[in-house]
């Protein structure tokens, strides 16, 4: 288990505290639509932190080639038809370069600075010169500001943020619960609050820059190598901007 992370509930628990049985119950979200709208048809996509394939599997069905990376072998057993690599993201060093590198699930908000730098370095290392990185970040709205709170989620469960304990320097220890009528799981993880300026500085330290914020809430971001010019739409123009404001 990663330091600062923990998970409880039935079934196997991945190193980041996520439950495999829980994720098998969750319906596919809108993430696949966002990725598919941004990626060129038939693109080779590197899905970092793929888990059991909630994004990878639907992308394969839409004609994309996907390499799925996760540090949980148990998670990767549920990926269908993609090349799989069992490895921590920070340690990944493949020979391939990809049209699109995907870092979803708010992984960029990891509470450990070295881990966060390692994640983005892996993105920069594996994206093709004319490719781009798709990142899902927590955005400007502070999701953990008013806790405890709960919501009814698709898939028939109640989600709860039970606590978000400040640990200093913007890092919080977050405790969440997923309660179904017949079973519940919990997860504890570390989250780093990154406003836009801080996020863009993090990108810059690994040789990346923002090319465009793809959603109105600025949660989904397209980043390119810092020395890339003119290969994509300028920030705020064209592309997929505004198409997925419901995110």
pLDDT for 83 equals: 98
Which has more confidence, 43 or 144?
Answer: 43
What pLDDT digit, counting tens, does each position of 161-185 carry? Answer: 999 999 999 999 999 999 999 999 9
Q: What is the pLDDT of residue 244?
A: 26
pTM: 0.91
Mean pLDDT of 77-90: 97
CA separation for the pair 226, 144 (Å, rounded): 31
> According to the model, what pLDDT value does residue 4 have?
95
- pLDDT tens for each residue of 18-77: 999 999 999 888 999 999 999 999 999 999 999 999 999 999 999 999 999 999 999 999
- pLDDT number for residue 241: 31
């Amino acid at each position: 288990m990663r330091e600062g992370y923990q998970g409880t509930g039935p079934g196997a628990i991945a190193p980041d505290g996520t439950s495999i049985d829980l994720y098998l119950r969750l319906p596919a979200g809108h993430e696949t639509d966002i990725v598919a709208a941004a990626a060129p048809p038939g693109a080779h996509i590197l899905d970092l932190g793929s888990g059991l394939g909630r994004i990878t599997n639907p992308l394969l069905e839409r004609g994309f080639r996907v390499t799925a990376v996760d540090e949980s072998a148990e998670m990767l057993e549920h990926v269908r038809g993609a090349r799989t690599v069992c490895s921590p993201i920070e340690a990944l060093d493949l020979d391939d370069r990809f049209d699109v590198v995907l870092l979803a699930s708010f992984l960029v908000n990891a509470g450990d600075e070295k881990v966060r730098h390692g994640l983005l370095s892996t993105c920069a290392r594996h994206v093709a010169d004319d490719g781009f990185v798709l990142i899902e970040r927590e955005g400007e709205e502070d999701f953990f500001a008013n806790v405890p709170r709960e919501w009814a989620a698709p898939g028939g469960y109640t989600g709860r943020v039970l606590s978000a304990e400040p640990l200093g320097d913007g890092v919080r220890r977050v405790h969440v619960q997923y309660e179904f009528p017949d079973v519940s799981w919990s997860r504890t993880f570390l989250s780093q609050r990154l406003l836009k300026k801080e996020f863009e500085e993090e990108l810059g330290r690994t040789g990346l820059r923002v090319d465009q914020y793809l959603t109105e809430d600025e949660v989904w971001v397209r980043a390119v190598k810092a020395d890339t010019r003119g290969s994509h739409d300028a920030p705020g123009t064209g592309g997929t901007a505004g198409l997925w404001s419901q995110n």
